[in-house]
Amino acid sequence: MLLTGTLQERETYVPTGNIVNQLIGRPGMKSIEPTIKANDAPPPRAAERILQVARDLFYRQGIRAIGVDEIVRRAGVTKPSLYRSFPSKDELAASYLRHYDLEFWERFDEAVNAHPGDPRAQIVAFLTRVGKRTQRPDYRGCGMTNAAVEYPEHGHPARVVSEANKQELRRRLRAMAAAMGAGDAETLGDGLLLLIEGAYISGQLFGAGGPAQSVARNADLLIEASLKK
């Protein structure tokens, strides 16, 4: 007799442990300056080191693959220090992704600002840079995408950040497609998103010389075809 079905599946995230800290601030990291004093001294230097090490390890190896013990060991701190600054490992992962989100939009806006009023050139510029990054030997794809793959559970802190980032990206791509004058801007915007996600994945799957190197060219081709319709 199969036992399947007798156990609940848990498709939504349920937080564990440290309930108090989890409520004192959505960012998941306690504010650095609770009182307004001379801002020369950044007291919680442990939190910074932890986050820095976690970002590196989570991106390169994956979140599930890295334990908190390894993080604190490499950061040269101890476990209680981690749990004083972050409510849980899941929230630490979310903090990593929030930082990733900031860096992502910096890169994106850099390409946008380089070609004011020319969304097509903005897209091509952005994807040219993405295509180049995917060819680097240590390329590991998009931290957001990878996190969503690692945590399919709805409501998981890491996944929430990831989904928000992708929703916003979709919104902006569709807006840019509309600004290009595409007949079906939704389809073109979504097509560009598919190419981008494909580049992230193919970059880490194939390594240098993989399909991701042609993402800018293919995007330009797709734009071309979408504008002529």
Q: Which residues bind DNA (CB under 7 A)?
A: 16-18, 34, 37-38, 41, 43-47, 66-70, 76-81, 83-85, 88-90
Burial group, residue 20, by CB count within 10 angstroms (0-12, 13-18, 19+): exposed
Position among 15, 41, 65, 104 found at the interface with its own copies (CB under 8 A): 65
Position 62 contacts its own copies (CB under 8 A): yes
Minimum distance, C-beta of residue 74 to DNA, in the bound complex (Å) = 12
- N residues, the chain: 229
Residue whose CB is less far from DNA, 93 or 188: 93
- CB 201 → its own copies: shortest distance, Å? 4
For residue 157, the minimal CB distance to DNA (Å) is 10
Confirm or reject binding of residue 1 to its own copies (CB under 8 A).
yes
Give the shortest CB-78-to-DNA separation in angstroms. Answer: 3
What's the half-sphere exposure (Cβ side, CA atoms, 13 Å) at 226?
Answer: 25
CA distance 204 to 198: 10
48 lies in the binding site for its own copies (CB under 8 A): no
CA 217/CA 119 separation, integer angstroms: 15
Q: For the chain, report the end-to-end CA distance as a whole number of angstroms.
A: 58
Alpha carbon 198 to its chain centroid, in Å, reads 15
Options 26, 45, 64, 171; binder of its own copies; rule CB under 8 A: 64
What does 199 interact with, of DNA, its own copies, none (CB < 5 to 8 A by kind)?
Answer: its own copies
Site string for its own copies, 170-209 (x = CB under 8 A): x---------------xxxxxx-xxxxxxxxxx-xxx---
Burial 33-57 (b: 16+ CB within 10 A, else e): eeeeeeeeeeebebbebbbebbbeb
DSSP 31-58: -S-SS---TT----HHHHHHHHHHHHHH
Q: Which of 4, 13, 47 is nearest to 28 (CA)?
A: 47
Query: Which listed residue (85, 95, 122, 146) binds its own copies by CB under 8 A?
Result: 146
Binding site for its own copies (CB under 8 A): 1-4, 7, 49, 53, 60-62, 64-65, 73-76, 140-141, 145-146, 148-150, 152, 162-163, 166-167, 170, 186-191, 193-202, 204-206, 210-215, 217-218, 221-222, 224-226, 229
